[in-house]
Amino acid sequence: MVQRDPAAQLASLVEEAQRAQARSDYRAAADAYRAAVSIHPELAQLWSNLGVMRYESHEYAGAEEALKQALQRDKSLFVPNLFLGLDLLELKRPREAAGYLLHAEKLSPDDPQVLLALGRAFHALFDPARSRDWYQRAANVAPQSGDAWFGLGISYLDMAERAGARMATSFNRTAYFGQLSAESFADQGRWREAIERDRLLLNSEQESPQCSRTFYGWALLQSGEVREAAEQFEKDLDSCPLAPPAKARLASGAGDHSASLLPVSHSEEPLPAIDKMSEQDLNSIASKEFFSGHFGATARIADRLMREWPNDVTGWYWAVRAYQRLGIASLARAGEVEPDSPRIHALLGEAYQRRKMSNEALQEYSRMLALQPDNIAGLAGLAAAYLQAGRLDEAQTAAQRALSKSPNDGEINLLMGEILVARRDYQRAEPYLEHGLHSRPDLVPRAHALLGRALARTGHPKEAINELKKGVSSDDDGSVYYQLARLYQSSGDTAAAATAFEKSQQIRLRRGVVASESDDASLDR
């Protein structure tokens, strides 16, 4: 029997692997490289290629083994460091991944794939500031990358949420927190709630943050209270740089007042040296920069205020405001640079929806469906965004379209059940919600909570209590505990009712919600 020359055999296997890779048959390519390393196991490059093909085949455990074999033979190779980092991210081991990715970045500092992966790794490690820095570098290197801008936007919004959480725990009785709460409602289009928060703020004895009256006037204008809005702009003319343009816009008679009140400047003037400035001077500059639309400069000042004076509210206040604006601008940029990418529009829709920005979510899902009209995820996202916006007819229509294409999908069934609960069609909601109990594990508590609400309304209080108890981990606004309290109260269990009422109130206070009779009625829907 004639023995083939090992060199010729190796060359044939590598050629076979390359042909398979060219036709995207990564498993066949991996098989060929596996045969190749059996001939020359000392060659790091062959192990690297094997690892990459296993990674592309989603065989992550096998890819880890091969890539580590490559690095044992040559730690200086860029590809196995990069792909081992990517592989470990898929295996949910971001801390290990970061080490290999940082080494890859040293080998190739401007590789966009490395920078994006590092942004992703530090996001998974709950370090949004470092995630922001890596995504910013990725956006600088690859300005047409939607992934870079999307990651940057999410990082900024995560930073805003962290700063907001600090305000909610440490400064929730300040006028600054009150102003942020009012603007949060306004950003969601919940103008009446924004107006109520603004009135509480302006009627308190605390000094209001700059431009509070102008933002109050803007909320009044959205609600059609034109005369009252004009009065607020007039009172703020001497102290708020936004008041004169707001007054002018109102006087112009323009019918659409939906545009943002804040300007956005894409050119940032150099900041003066802020390292030795006093807190008062920094706050003054932060205000000037923010109301000029220079959100990057505001963020840099806020960073120093938080670092040097962490027990003062103002640094956290400017951080939340600047990070939010930078995050939203970055997300918008992601859609602009990749307008024909359904994936980017889906990511944007989900991000906006998670932050209760329903109008923006609707726009992104509509753009996605314009590119792929029958996309199930797009239809479900559109339905969820319509639900969030209170447009229940359209939500139900979109959800029904999604269900017609995937009738056994647990998440879509849960969504339809939630829509029917919102419509108070509790009996029809029940089978959808029962199906929703088989959706993703993180959504199951929500399904239990909604099913409990439906059962309470269809005359099954004991079953409702059991379901609501299983759903309390999903209670982000106090409504689940409130429902439980009412049911306990009706059944005569006053102690359990008192405990549930207290927990509901604690959640509402953490969110900055002021309890009222109208709030209680809405929680009891």
pLDDT of residue 255: 45
pLDDT reading at 521 higher than 70: no
pLDDT reading at 513 higher than 80: no
206 and 173 share a domain?
yes
Tokens 């609501």 belong to: 468
How many CB atoms lie under 10 A from the CB of residue 40?
14
Of 449, 472, 495, the residue at which a domain comes to its end is 472
343 and 366 share a domain?
yes
Average pLDDT over residues 87-102: 98
380 and 432 share a domain?
no
pLDDT reading at 372 higher than 50: yes
- pLDDT-above-70 percentage for the chain: 94
Of 155 and 4, which is predicted with more confidence? 155
Domains of the chain: total: 5
pLDDT of residue 258: 53
pLDDT reading at 519 higher than 50: no
pLDDT of residue 249: 85
pLDDT reading at 509 higher than 80: no
28 and 134 share a domain?
yes
Average pLDDT over residues 74-100: 97
Listed range (107-111, 198-202, 381-385, 514-518) with the worst mean pLDDT: 514-518
444 and 396 share a domain?
no
Listed range (367-371, 411-415, 515-519) with the worst mean pLDDT: 515-519
Average pLDDT over residues 160-174: 93
pLDDT of residue 525: 44
Dist. CA 446–CA 428, nearest whole Å:
17
pLDDT reading at 177 higher than 60: yes
pLDDT reading at 401 higher than 90: yes
Dist. CA 170–CA 184, nearest whole Å:
18
Do residues 398 and 386 touch, judged by C-beta distance below 8 A?
yes
pLDDT of residue 516: 35
Q: 60 by DSSP, 3-state: which?
A: helix
118 and 183 share a domain?
no
Instruction: Report how far apart, in Å, the C-alpha atoms of 173 and of each of 134, 408, 461, 499, 514 are.
Output: 35, 47, 38, 24, 12
196 and 305 share a domain?
yes
Do residues 91 and 60 touch, judged by C-beta distance below 8 A?
yes
pLDDT reading at 188 higher than 90: no
Residue 290 within any structural domain of the chain: yes
Residue 197 within any structural domain of the chain: yes
244 and 327 share a domain?
yes
Residue 238 within any structural domain of the chain: yes
Residue 30 within any structural domain of the chain: yes
Range of the domain at 360: 339-407
Tell me what the pLDDT averaged over the chain comes to: 91
**pTM of the entire structure?**
0.85
79 and 117 share a domain?
yes
Residue 213 neighbours by CB under 8 Å, 6+ apart: 202, 232, 233, 235, 236, 240, 243
Do residues 319 and 306 touch, judged by C-beta distance below 8 A?
yes
- Specify the CATH number for the domain of residue 394: 1.25.40.10
The three-state (H, E, C) secondary structure of 267-332, written as one string: CCCCCCCCCCCCHHHHHHHHHHHHHCCCHHHHHHHHHHHHHHCCCCHHHHHHHHHHHHHHHHHHHH
Residue 493 within any structural domain of the chain: yes
487 and 461 share a domain?
no
pLDDT reading at 175 higher than 90: yes
Note the pLDDT tens digit of each residue in 20-76. 999 999 999 999 999 999 999 999 999 999 999 999 999 999 999 999 999 999 999
Dist. CA 243–CA 225, nearest whole Å:
16
Task: Dump strand ranges (E) for 207-324.
Answer: none
Of 142, 177, 209, the residue at which a domain comes to its end is 142
pLDDT reading at 518 higher than 70: no
Note the pLDDT tens digit of each residue in 249-293. 888 765 444 557 787 776 677 787 888 899 999 999 999 999 999
List the structure tokens of 8. 């010729």
467 and 523 share a domain?
no
Note the pLDDT tens digit of each residue in 331-363. 999 999 999 999 999 999 999 998 888 889 999
What amino acid is encoded at 288 in this protein? Answer: K
List the structure tokens of 216. 């109050």
Instruction: Report how far apart, in Å, the C-alpha atoms of 444 and of each of 438, 439, 448 are.
Output: 7, 6, 6
pLDDT of residue 254: 53
List the structure tokens of 491. 């059944």
